[in-house]
């Protein structure tokens, strides 16, 4: 089983590296930065779960309903819309249980190539199923299915979204995934700048972008256009968490975690998979030091920035945040 995981991980990593190289290559034209390479493409939906308004609306209702698991915890409780679809806790807490990792924001998760900090799910639908099958809270997806079937108001919503298909683990995951894929931020000052508005970001942020793509080397992992290579890296964080190695069984994947995307990053503190960095300034100092302990990670290299350069780089990171996503909380279906 470990060999199968390892082979799969190797192929997956090769694919990610190819994508990264194409993205970085496209970002440079004639020795100059090609800003068009940073423009986000439209969100795509899988062939076996195409978009429909009925599915998105059903997914939204499910997302806010605390009745669908025995802990009485809705998706929105951890991925709070008012907190940029995450929360301000260092590590996720569900029903009094503290989990080992920070709750990642759902913003632009539609673009991810894998899911969870360790990449254990290949699709958003699979990620949702793993949640329902005991990864975090509910011990068995059958419990969630049974609870939804008992809420009479859900039957017409599922018929509208899926026709004659029953309320199943698959249809629940498809509806939730359709809703979550719509949680996107694509209109940041940076996005307006790369589309040609020279006044969308400050001169300080422009200098920060030059540092991001040059001296600081952030672009090596936070690649265009998603600000992520979607690969797994040993980030030098003090943690006993095995990270990607828990999935692949490979020693070289120990303490490796997926590179997060950065749009809306100024609004989604705390940071890192442990949630142990509370500000962008702390994160920047962490990378300048090459990790919590200098030289701890072979994948990090310490670098020096002046105070002005640090301010410029943070100004750029702040330019990656757009207006908050406003959403109306739905009325939940009647139980009887």
Q: Domain spanning 2-42+185-318: which CATH class is it, in words?
A: mainly alpha
Q: At what angle do helices 307-318 and 280-288 cross, to 10 degrees?
A: 130
What's the rounded Cα separation, in Å, for the pair 178 and 208?
35
Residue that is written with structure tokens 């030098």 in the block? 236
Is residue 135 within 8 A of residue 97, CB to CB? The reply is no
The sign of the torsion formed by the CA atoms of 248, 249, 253, 255 equals positive
pLDDT given for residue 17 in this prediction: 44
CATH node for 53-180:
1.10.760.10
Quick one: pLDDT at residue 98? 81
DSSP letter string, 83-135: GTTB-S-SS-EETTEEPSS-----TTGGG-SSBSTT--BSSHHHHHHHIIIII
DSSP secondary structure code for residue 271 in this structure = B
Residues in the chain, pLDDT under 50: 1-25, 28-30, 136, 138
pLDDT tens digits along 163-174? 988 899 999 999
Alpha carbon distances (Å) from 262 to 3, 98, 255, 321: 33, 25, 21, 9
Q: What is the distance between the terminal CA atoms of the chain, rounded to a whole angstrom?
A: 46
Boundaries of CATH 1.10.760.10 in the chain? 2-42+185-318, 53-180
Question: How are the residues of the chain apportioned to helix, strand and coil, as percentages rounded to the nearest 5?
Answer: 45, 5, 50
Tokens coding 304: 């020096």
Residue 294 is predicted with a pLDDT of 56
Identify the pLDDT of residue 139.
55
With 0-12 / 13-18 / 19 or more C-beta atoms within 10 angstroms meaning exposed / middle / buried, residue 303 is: middle
Pull the structure tokens for residue 51.
Answer: 């978009």
- pTM recorded for the entire structure: 0.88
CA distance 269 to 99: 17
Q: Quick one: tokens of 96? A: 């009094």
Beta-carbon count within 10 A of 182 CB: 15
User: What is the per-residue pLDDT across 33-89, written as a single tens digit (0 to 9) for each?
Assistant: 688 999 999 999 999 999 999 999 999 999 999 999 888 889 999 999 999 999 999
């Amino acid at each position: 089983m470990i060999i199968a995981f390892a082979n799969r991980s190797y192929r997956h990593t090769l694919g990610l590296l190819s994508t990264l190289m194409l993205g970085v290559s496209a970002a440079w034209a004639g020795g100059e930065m090609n800003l068009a390479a940073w423009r986000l493409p439209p969100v795509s939906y899988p062939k076996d779960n195409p978009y429909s308004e009925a599915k998105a609306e059903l997914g939204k209702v499910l997302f806010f309903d605390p009745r669908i698991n025995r802990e009485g915890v809705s998706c929105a409780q951890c991925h709070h819309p008012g907190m940029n679809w995450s929360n301000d806790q260092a590590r996720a807490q569900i029903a009094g249980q503290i989990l080992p990792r920070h709750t990642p924001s759902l913003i632009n998760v539609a673009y991810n190539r894998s899911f969870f900090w360790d990449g254990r799910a290949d699709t958003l639908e699979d990620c949702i199923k793993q949640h329902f099958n005991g990864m975090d809270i509910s011990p068995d997806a059958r419990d969630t299915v049974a609870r939804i079937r008992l809420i009479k108001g859900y039957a017409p919503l599922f018929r509208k979204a899926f026709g004659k298909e029953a309320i199943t683990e698959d249809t629940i995951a498809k509806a939730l995934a359709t809703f979550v894929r719509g949680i996107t931020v694509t209109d940041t000052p940076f996005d307006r700048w790369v589309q040609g508005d020279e006044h969308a970001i400050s001169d300080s942020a422009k200098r920060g972008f030059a540092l991001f793509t040059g001296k600081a080397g952030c672009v090596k992992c936070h690649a265009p256009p998603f600000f992520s290579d979607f690969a797994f890296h040993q980030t030098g964080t003090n943690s006993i968490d095995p990270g990607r190695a828990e999935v692949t069984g490979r020693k070289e994947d120990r303490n490796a975690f997926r590179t997060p995307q950065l749009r809306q990053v100024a609004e989604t503190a705390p940071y890192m998979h442990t949630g142990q960095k509370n500000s962008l300034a702390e994160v920047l100092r962490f990378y300048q030091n090459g990790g919590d302990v200098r030289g701890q990670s072979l994948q990090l290299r310490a670098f020096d920035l002046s105070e002005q350069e640090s301010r410029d780089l943070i100004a750029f990171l702040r330019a990656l945040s757009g207006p908050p996503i406003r959403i109306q909380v739905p009325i939940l279906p009647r139980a009887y």
